[in-house]
């Protein structure tokens, strides 16, 4: 079974799974929508659709009772890179006043669906564009808390435009949200102080932006890139990864606990046998946790693993 990361880092063309979704299937989904009348601006909460549940969480925090948020990638047992669009997703998007998605190749189905479903007055927030992300960059940008600040600001502005009567409420919740990120930023600063320069590795670049924020030295980038691109890492990249684990050159290994890849799984076994601490990180926000608690829990796990 292949449950590999389907990000298209460094790949100019779609590779597999979701990325291979034919335009026709989007068209078919869009056709199914033709029977749905365009939704007029009704009173009541504003429909927000978030491609990923961590952006949905931010939308809920900024929108409060004034919004109804639908998060599409929300299943902790599912590889987001294998996501397939269903008619219910297309229907949710057709009703949305505000759509927010990651961009830079992480959720290419969203841009196609938006092109296929014309929503009058619909606003779209591409989070990668807010932080200067480019196709070819590591798409896991939500692992940088600054990204969430940018997403929250854009949501507050668009919600205020869509619903001027509550503009002050959105701005007040934005201030509260930004303040609520402080414990995550404090933890990063404290860990950076102690742990900057620590050599670490990962089977995929999921945690890359957080490693950068922590000032850690991330090894085996070629290996991570290959696994993420759904290709077999080169023999030399595998050998270098194994050597790092067996000789204790790296102090920690992060793996993507939401997807499974045979080569990555093998590295995890070698890490455990070599007494290199292993910490899992997830692609989407775990159920019952806020973004902050999710990040703090992963940071705590890293801190604990490195202090053993």
Give the binding site for Zn ion (CB under 5 A): 5, 7
Q: Least distance from C-beta 90 to Zn ion, angstroms?
A: 23
In sequence order, what DSSP letters do the residues of 235-300 get, joined into one string? HHHHHHHHHHHHTT--S-EEEETTSB-HHHHHHHHHHHHTT--EEEE-SSPPTT--HHHHHHHHHH
Select 116 or 200, whichever has its Cβ closest to Zn ion.
Answer: 200
Torsion region of 129: left, alpha or beta (phi above 0 gives left; psi -120 to 50 gives alpha): alpha
Using CA atoms, how far apart are residues 229 and 304, in angstroms rounded to an integer?
A: 30
Select 241 or 255, whichever has its Cβ closest to Zn ion.
Answer: 255
Using CA atoms, how far apart are residues 105 and 115, in angstroms rounded to an integer?
A: 16
Q: Least distance from C-beta 229 to Zn ion, angstroms?
A: 10
Q: The sheet that has 67-73: what strands, in order across it?
A: 67-73, 46-52, 98-101, 123-126
Q: Least distance from C-beta 107 to Zn ion, angstroms?
A: 11
Helical residues (DSSP H) of 36-107, grouped into ranges: 53-63, 87-95
Select 18 or 46, whichever has its Cβ closest to Zn ion.
Answer: 18
Q: Least distance from C-beta 94 to Zn ion, angstroms?
A: 27
Do 162 and 98 contact (CB within 8 A), yes or no?
yes
Select 96 or 228, whichever has its Cβ closest to Zn ion.
Answer: 228
Select 63 or 233, whichever has its Cβ closest to Zn ion.
Answer: 233
Select 160 or 205, whichever has its Cβ closest to Zn ion.
Answer: 205
Q: Least distance from C-beta 15 to Zn ion, angstroms?
A: 13
Report the residue closest to Zn ion, judged by CB: 5
Q: Least distance from C-beta 148 to Zn ion, angstroms?
A: 17
Select 117 or 258, whichever has its Cβ closest to Zn ion.
Answer: 258
Helical residues (DSSP H) of the chain, grouped into ranges: 23-33, 53-63, 87-95, 108-116, 127-130, 145-162, 167-180, 182-195, 208-213, 221-228, 235-246, 262-273, 291-307
Q: Least distance from C-beta 137 to Zn ion, angstroms?
A: 13
């Amino acid at each position: 079974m292949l449950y590999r990361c389907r990000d298209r880092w460094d790949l100019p063309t779609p590779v597999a799974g979701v990325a291979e979704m034919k335009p026709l299937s989007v068209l078919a989904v869009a056709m199914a929508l033709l029977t749905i009348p365009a939704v007029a601006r009704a009173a009541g909460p504003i429909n927000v659709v978030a491609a990923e549940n961590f952006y949905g969480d931010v939308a809920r925090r900024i929108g409060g009772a004034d919004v109804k948020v639908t998060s599409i990638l929300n299943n902790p047992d599912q590889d987001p890179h294998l996501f397939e669009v269903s008619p219910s997703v297309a229907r949710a998007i057709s009703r949305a006043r505000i759509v927010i998605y990651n961009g830079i190749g992480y959720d290419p189905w969203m841009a196609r669906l938006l092109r296929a479903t014309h929503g009058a007055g619909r606003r779209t927030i591409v989070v990668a564009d807010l932080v200067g992300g480019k196709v070819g960059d590591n798409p896991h940008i939500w692992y940088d808390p600054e990204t969430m600040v940018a997403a929250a600001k854009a949501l507050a502005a668009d919600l205020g435009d869509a619903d001027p009567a509550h503009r002050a409420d959105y701005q007040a919740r934005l201030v509260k949200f930004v303040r609520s990120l402080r414990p995550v930023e404090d933890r990063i600063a404290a860990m950076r102080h102690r742990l900057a320069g620590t050599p670490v590795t990962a089977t995929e670049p999921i945690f890359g932006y957080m490693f950068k924020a922590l000032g850690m030295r991330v090894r085996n980038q070629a290996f991570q890139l290959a696994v993420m691109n759904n290709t077999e890492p080169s023999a030399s990249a595998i050998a270098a990864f194994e050597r790092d684990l067996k000789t204790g050159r790296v102090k920690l290994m992060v793996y993507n606990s939401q997807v499974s890849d045979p080569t990555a799984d093998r590295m995890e076994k070698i890490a455990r046998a070599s007494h290199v601490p292993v910490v899992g990180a997830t692609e989407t926000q775990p159920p019952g946790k806020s973004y902050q608690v999710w990040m703090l829990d992963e940071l705590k796990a890293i801190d604990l693993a490195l202090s053993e």
